[in-house]
Amino acid sequence: MEGKEYTDIYGNKITLQQQSYNDTCQDFTITSSKMSLRSLTTWTCSVWIVAYAVFYYTQHSAVLTAAILFSIVGLLLYLHLVKVDHESLLILGSLGIQTTSTYASGRENTVFIEMCRVQDVVINEGISMHRVNYYLCLLLKDPRNPQAGVSQVIPIFQSSQPRLDCLTEIYRSCQEILSSQRSKATS
Amino acid sequence: MVHSRREGSGTCSHRNSVRTPETAHAPLRTHSICMVSDFFYPNMGGVESHIYQLSQCLIERGHKVIIVTHAYRDRKGIRYLTNGLKVYYLPLQVMYNQSTATTLLHSLPLLRYIFVRERVSVVHSHSSFSAMAHDALFHAKTLGLHTVFTDHSLFGFADVSSVLTNKLLTVSLCDTNHIICVSYTSKENTVLRAALDPQIVSVIPNAVDPTDFTPDLQKEKTNKITIVVVSRLVYRKGVDLLGGIIHELCQKYPELHFLIGGEGPKRIILEEVRERYQLHDRVRLLGALEHHQVRDVLVEGEIFLNTSLTEAFCMAIVEAASCGLQVVTTRVGGIPEVLPDNFIILCEPSVRSLCTGLEKAIHQLRAGTLPNPETIHNTVKTFYTWRNVAERTERVYDRVSKETVLPMNERLERLVNHCGGVTGLIFALFVIISFLFLVFLRWTTPDYLIDVAVDASGPNAAWPQHNCRKKPRKKLTMKK
Amino acid sequence: MSPVLQAPESGHYTSMSLGGCAPADPVSDPPRWKKILYKRQPFPDNYVDKSFLEELRKNIYVRRYSYWAVVFESAMVIQQLCSVCSFSVVWWYMDQDLLSPQKLCGVGLAITLLGYLLFDAVDKGSGRKECGRTRWDDLKSSLVFIAFTYGFSPVLKTLTESISTDTIYAMSVLMLIGHLVFFDYGANAAVVSSTMSINMAIFASVCLASRLPRSLHAFTMVTFAIQIFALWPSLQRKLRAYTPGIYICVTFVFALFSVAGLLSISGVGALLFSILLISVAFLCPYCLIRLQLFKDNIHGPWDEAVIKEDLSRFYD
């Protein structure tokens, strides 16, 4: 399926790809923008300028070596642990929901939730220290005690942080699948 | 600033153009109102219930209302109350007596975000004790929004704390568009405290829900006369006078009983009096009462006694009158304006005078010349209603939205001229810093990046309100 | 002048109908505005009536001062300043070895005895009857006190050996200023604490006494401090209450004596001190009375009610 262009809450471009395998099976992938060459060079240059200034005052060549190592190791750690390349949400109507985060280094982090534990998928508003954002989240229930209500809330697309228009798209499709699932369960 | 103001009024006039022919003679515009105060549910009190009831009636009239307050323990984030009333519980540090700590700048990013995403056109703050209310007024003026402030209490002028508070109030109110007070005495007090032009101060009294406070028609008539007192037991409420009255009257009238509800540090005085004169069977101390228990306590009595030393409006006597009780009270603050002479007996704040007033009430009760509780209730319920308060507040909003918000240079001039040399300059500096901060915020998070919130109330409400009275004026709901 | 107070004159019947208010019927009497909230009145909510702020009262509890009465009251402050000055002068003389402790002791004893007799003579024995202390009690307490001070004077002398002289001087100055600040001049203010002021004075005297050559010097210094900071003010209070004329003369003589004593040490100091005394005695009362004109106390129906009667009769 072709990707639709949206923006995230910081103004960066993200792409939403929606793949429908079946009536009850859909896959949403949000791809964040790649790390820009400009930000990489800015960071590296600033680290090296600081290192050079320290070297100028202390005349320790170890400072320069440390700067080089720090920038290389820092970049690797960033790519491996922080920078998310794309996040995806796979809904299998009868089976469950799977969320995957793929980092820039290729590492993947997957969580699978069985459909019996899923109560609903909603868009919620959250307040942080200086902003109020919409985010998509899964409401889970305890299958042994379904009357107890919501037992856990799992937010999804936390790294891409798409805006409301993108979230409503995903939300609508999820709700179609979940409601058809519920009507199948009750009938 | 100018851009957002035009945007706000633009949406209002757009709604205006979708009027039905029969309402063409009444100018109708809906406002997007943000109520801000530190005091809101789950805290219970006069200000809290005022904000809640007023918001509900405004939603019923078709406006969009949101409430911003600080987080109460676990209650953080966004909650929805009846009829789509959205409440923001912000994670700001509470300092003392449910009032937040303020630096005048740290709440700007969050409040600006909320005002932009909810497309607020009027910011209405409540209570001088609330630091968040003053912060919100300050930031709203920087953002170019219209501001209204409601003051619920009376203040002195003499001691150091009053002088400082009044100075801060002057700064806060010098460029506010309109101020609302709950009684004429409160208006005089606020005008003097903040050196305001009395034309921009309106008097809109509080109200009471008459269905909550109805008399008990099934009550049996006995010989016993019960005097009810429901208030916090603190110095300001004149508990010292109450101690004297109990002793004097219980000696004179053997069938007199006292029923006292409420808690506070002065409870010990009443317990001492009860102990000393062995009045355990005639004086009952009920302790703290929940809001829903108040009516049941009030209908047990025939006379309501209020001994406050200062009171801007005094909801308690209106609630008591609504339950059909005869009211005996001290003549302080705004109390003489509240009820007509046949429902209230006013006394000086001294034990002698209050005893005389109570004796007069007892004689009238015995002689049967007091009006019937049902008559009192039926008359009082027409005096103060929330719908009337909402209608008058809406008029204030209409007036305010036609005014211009002071641009930056005029605002600085007003601050320096009106608030004195030193204070005016300090706050002018704060205004400039907050403006620069706002420019910085608009650069990091421009307005177009802020998602517009889904309305829960007002003409564009996403969820239909089943409990609203459908009046013909409200044909403005646009179908999506 | 607050712009607000001009409002009543301009508060005519302003027709600012914003919809929903019935205009006045010109045929019958125009409706009068009443200060009530329970009835809908045909006036807008922000209407300002002629009676707006009618019950405002200004400065009704203000005290009217008379210049010479305030000057008379300032004599107490003058006395304390002179006490501090005399004490410092005496200490200086002892430090310079120009005054021997025996002489100071003798003179102090004589003046104390004289003051003691005067104390009883002034009110003709009624104060003594009231407080119930006999002469024997007084003698006992003074003997106890002298014995303790004499016994502890070697300790007092060596108390501050490890502290530098500059610190001692700074501490003493601070303590004496504190003594002046907390002294009970007869005003009913929160900052008054007579125990604190006498403690600070004694502490200052101990600090200064410890710098003197021998323990006898320390003993006489502390005793002199007690006489001038504790006994002298109580005698002066008595004199002030019963014989104001003599009190003023005594104050005047005392002031002259202090200035003269300071003059023998430093001319500039004496000049500054006399300027201080004159400004406290004459300039400050004048300023106080002038500033009363700027007083702007506002009273009205919004004031918190003051319970005027004594409620303790119900709770005793």
- Name the average pLDDT for chain B: 86
* 3-class DSSP state of B75: strand
Higher pLDDT among residues B97 and B305, named by residue = B305
Q: Say whether both A136 and A93 belong to one domain.
A: yes
Q: Say whether both A131 and A165 belong to one domain.
A: yes
Task: Check residue C316 and give its pLDDT.
Answer: 57
Q: Inter-chain contact B240–C298, Cβ cutoff 8 Å?
A: no
Shortest distance between the Cα of C80 and any Cα of chain B, in A, equals 29
What does B398-457 look like in DSSP terms, one character per residue? Answer: HHHHHSPPPPHHHHHHHHHHHS-HHHHHHHHHHHHHHHHHHHHHHHHS-GGGSPPPPPSS
- Least CA distance to B450: which residue of chain A? A9
Task: Check residue C2 and give its pLDDT.
Answer: 38
B446 C-beta neighbours (distance < 10 Å), count: 11
State pTM to two decimals: 0.80
Q: Say whether both B340 and B404 belong to one domain.
A: no
Q: Say whether both A41 and A27 belong to one domain.
A: no
Chain B residues in contact with A134 (beta carbon < 8 A) = 451
Residue C200 carries which side chain, given as an amino acid letter? M
Q: Inter-chain contact B77–A127, Cβ cutoff 8 Å?
A: yes
Q: Say whether both B279 and B321 belong to one domain.
A: yes
Out of B383, B405, B427, pick the residue that ends a domain. B383
Average pLDDT for B209-215 = 90
For B344, phi then psi, to 5°, come to -140, 145
- Name the average pLDDT for chain C: 84
Banded model confidence at residue B465, pLDDT cuts 50, 70, 90: low
Q: Inter-chain contact C4–B197, Cβ cutoff 8 Å?
A: yes
Q: Say whether both B406 and B355 belong to one domain.
A: no
Nearest CA to C83 out of C91, C72, C94 is that of: C91
Q: Say whether both B185 and B147 belong to one domain.
A: yes
Out of B340, B364, B383, pick the residue that ends a domain. B383
Kindly tell me if the per-residue pLDDT of B74 is higher than 90: no
Chain C residues in contact with B184 (beta carbon < 8 A) = 35, 37
For CA atoms B83, B293, B76, B150, the dihedral sign is positive
Average pLDDT for B18-44 = 71
Which of B78, B445, B446 is the closest to A127 by Cβ? Answer: B78
Structurally, chain B folds into a number of domains equal to 2
Over pLDDT 70: what percentage of chain B?
91
Residue B27: DSSP 8-state: -
Give the mutation candidate from A9, A12, A131 for the B interface (greatest B CB count, under 10 A).
Answer: A131
Q: Which residues in B have their CB inside 8 Å of a CB on A?
A: 76-78, 88-91, 109-110, 113-114, 117, 445-446, 449, 451-453
Tokens 């609504």 identify what position?
Answer: B322
Kindly tell me if the per-residue pLDDT of C78 is higher than 50: yes
Q: Say whether both B84 and B156 belong to one domain.
A: yes
Give chain C's radius of gyration (CA, Å).
Answer: 31
Task: Check residue C193 and give its pLDDT.
Answer: 86
Which of C37, C305, C314 is the closest to B332 by Cβ? Answer: C305
Give the mutation candidate from B67, B451, B452 for the A interface (greatest A CB count, under 10 A).
Answer: B451
Kindly tell me if the per-residue pLDDT of B476 is higher than 70: no
Residue B72: DSSP 8-state: B
Which of B188, B204, B337 is the closest to C300 by Cβ? Answer: B188
Chain B residues in contact with C48 (beta carbon < 8 A) = 198-199
| A106 assigned to some structural domain | no
Which residues, 6 or more positions from C214, have their beta carbon under 8 angstroms from its beta carbon? C101, C157
Q: Inter-chain contact A127–B449, Cβ cutoff 8 Å?
A: no
What does B165-212 look like in DSSP terms, one character per residue? Answer: HHHHHHHHHTT-SEEEESSHHHHHHHHHHHT--GGGEEE------TTT
- Least CA distance to B159: which residue of chain C? C297
CATH code for the domain in which residue B122 is found: 3.40.50.2000
- Name the average pLDDT for chain A: 90
Segment B316-339, tens digit of pLDDT: 999 999 999 999 999 999 999 999
Nearest CA to B358 out of B271, B263, B213, B241 is that of: B241
Q: Say whether both A68 and A119 belong to one domain.
A: no
Q: Say whether both A27 and A61 belong to one domain.
A: no
Tokens of C273: 């001190």
Out of B358, B383, B408, pick the residue that ends a domain. B383
What does C64-127 look like in DSSP terms, one character per residue? Answer: PP-HHHHHHHHHHHHHHHHHHHHHHHHHHHHHTTSS-HHHHHHHHHHHHHHHHHHHHHHTTTHH
Q: Say whether both A168 and A95 belong to one domain.
A: yes
Kindly tell me if the per-residue pLDDT of C8 is higher than 70: no
Segment C257-275, tens digit of pLDDT: 999 999 999 999 999 999 9
| A171 assigned to some structural domain | yes
User: For residue B85, what are the β-bridge partners?
Assistant: B81
Chain B residues in contact with C316 (beta carbon < 8 A) = none
Q: Where are the alpha helices (DSSP H) in B18-121?
A: 46-60, 108-117
Average pLDDT for C45-71 = 87
Q: Say whether both A94 and A170 belong to one domain.
A: yes
- As a whole number of angstroms, the distance between CA B111 and CA B373 comes to 48
- As a whole number of angstroms, the distance between CA B335 and CA B333 comes to 6
- Least CA distance to B441: which residue of chain A? A130
CB of A132 within 8 Å of a chain B CB? The answer is: yes
Shortest distance between the Cα of A41 and any Cα of chain B, in A, equals 21
Segment B122-170, tens digit of pLDDT: 999 999 989 999 999 999 999 999 999 999 989 888 888 888 889 999 9
Task: Check residue C27 and give its pLDDT.
Answer: 54
Kindly tell me if the per-residue pLDDT of C17 is higher than 50: no
Kindly tell me if the per-residue pLDDT of C128 is higher than 80: no
Average pLDDT for C147-169 = 88
Q: Inter-chain contact B453–A7, Cβ cutoff 8 Å?
A: no
Question: CA-based angle B203:B204:B206, to the nearest 5?
Answer: 130
Q: Say whether both A11 and A48 belong to one domain.
A: no
Among A43-57, B385-399, C48-62, the minimum mean pLDDT is found in C48-62
Chain C residues in contact with B201 (beta carbon < 8 A) = 46
Kindly tell me if the per-residue pLDDT of C10 is higher than 70: no
CB of A168 within 8 Å of a chain B CB? The answer is: no
Kindly tell me if the per-residue pLDDT of B472 is higher than 60: no
What does B149-177 look like in DSSP terms, one character per residue? Answer: EEE-----SSSHHHHHHHHHHHHHHTT-S
Banded model confidence at residue A1, pLDDT cuts 50, 70, 90: low
- As a whole number of angstroms, the distance between CA B105 and CA B111 comes to 10
Kindly tell me if the per-residue pLDDT of B9 is higher than 50: no
Over pLDDT 70: what percentage of chain C?
89
Chain C residues in contact with B273 (beta carbon < 8 A) = 314-315
Task: Check residue B118 and give its pLDDT.
Answer: 94
Structurally, chain A folds into a number of domains equal to 2
Average pLDDT for C25-48 = 82
Segment A21-34, tens digit of pLDDT: 988 899 999 999 88
Which of B204, B240, B272 is the closest to C307 by Cβ? Answer: B240
- Residue B353 lies in domain: 225-383
Contact of C63 with C71, CB cutoff 8 Å:
no
Average pLDDT for B438-444 = 95
Give the mutation candidate from C57, C302, C312 for the B interface (greatest B CB count, under 10 A).
Answer: C302
Q: Say whether both B105 and B131 belong to one domain.
A: yes
User: For residue A155, what are the β-bridge partners?
Assistant: A137
CB of A11 within 8 Å of a chain B CB? The answer is: yes
Q: How far is CA B411 from CA A25, B107, B175, in A?
A: 59, 20, 7
Residue A181 carries which side chain, given as an amino acid letter? Q
Shortest distance between the Cα of C58 and any Cα of chain B, in A, equals 12
Distance from CA of residue A118 to its chain's centroid? Answer: 19
Banded model confidence at residue C314, pLDDT cuts 50, 70, 90: low
| B352 assigned to some structural domain | yes
Q: Say whether both B127 and B198 belong to one domain.
A: yes
- As a whole number of angstroms, the distance between CA C183 and CA C77 comes to 9
Segment B87-108, tens digit of pLDDT: 999 988 877 777 777 778 889 9
- As a whole number of angstroms, the distance between CA C248 and CA C240 comes to 8
Higher pLDDT among residues B366 and C312, named by residue = B366
Average pLDDT for B340-355 = 92
Q: Say whether both B324 and B416 belong to one domain.
A: no
| B279 assigned to some structural domain | yes
Among B5-19, B71-85, B146-160, C25-39, the minimum mean pLDDT is found in B5-19
Q: Say whether both A46 and A22 belong to one domain.
A: no
The H helix count followed by the E strand count for chain B is 15, 16
Q: Say whether both B278 and B305 belong to one domain.
A: yes
Kindly tell me if the per-residue pLDDT of C213 is higher than 90: no
Tokens of B135: 């912060």
Kindly tell me if the per-residue pLDDT of C21 is higher than 50: no
Average pLDDT for B274-283 = 90
CB of A164 within 8 Å of a chain B CB? The answer is: yes
Which of A10, A127, A133 is the closest to B90 by Cβ? Answer: A127
| B146 assigned to some structural domain | yes
Kindly tell me if the per-residue pLDDT of B38 is higher than 80: yes
Size of interface A-B (CB pairs under 8 A): 42
Task: Check residue C197 and give its pLDDT.
Answer: 92
Nearest CA to B344 out of B323, B356, B363, B361 is that of: B361
Which of B183, B199, B352 is the closest to C48 by Cβ? Answer: B199
| Ramachandran assignment for B256, one of left (phi > 0), alpha (psi -120 to 50 degrees), beta (any other) | beta
Chain A residues in contact with B109 (beta carbon < 8 A) = 129-131
Average pLDDT for B72-97 = 89
- As a whole number of angstroms, the distance between CA C277 and CA C206 comes to 26
Task: Check residue A121 and give its pLDDT.
Answer: 94
B40 C-beta neighbours (distance < 10 Å), count: 28
Q: Say whether both A62 and A94 belong to one domain.
A: no
As for the ipTM of the complex, it is 0.88
Tokens 């300028």 identify what position?
Answer: A49
Q: Inter-chain contact C307–B337, Cβ cutoff 8 Å?
A: no
* Residues, chain C: 316
- Residue A49 lies in domain: 37-81
Please report all neighbours of B, defined by 3+ CB atom pairs within 8 A: A, C
Q: Say whether both B280 and B137 belong to one domain.
A: no
Task: Check residue B339 and give its pLDDT.
Answer: 93
| B216 assigned to some structural domain | no
Banded model confidence at residue B218, pLDDT cuts 50, 70, 90: confident
Q: Say whether both B379 and B267 belong to one domain.
A: yes
Kindly tell me if the per-residue pLDDT of B12 is higher than 90: no
Segment B350-389, tens digit of pLDDT: 999 999 999 999 999 889 888 888 999 999 999 999 999 9
Shortest distance between the Cα of C187 and any Cα of chain B, in A, equals 18
Q: Say whether both B316 and B460 belong to one domain.
A: no
| A108 assigned to some structural domain | no
- As a whole number of angstroms, the distance between CA B380 and CA B365 comes to 19
Average pLDDT for A169-184 = 91
- Least CA distance to C52: which residue of chain B? B188
Among B190-204, B407-421, C297-311, the minimum mean pLDDT is found in C297-311
Tokens of C313: 């009769």
Average pLDDT for B190-196 = 92
For CA atoms B292, B297, B299, B302, the dihedral sign is negative
Q: Say whether both A55 and A77 belong to one domain.
A: yes
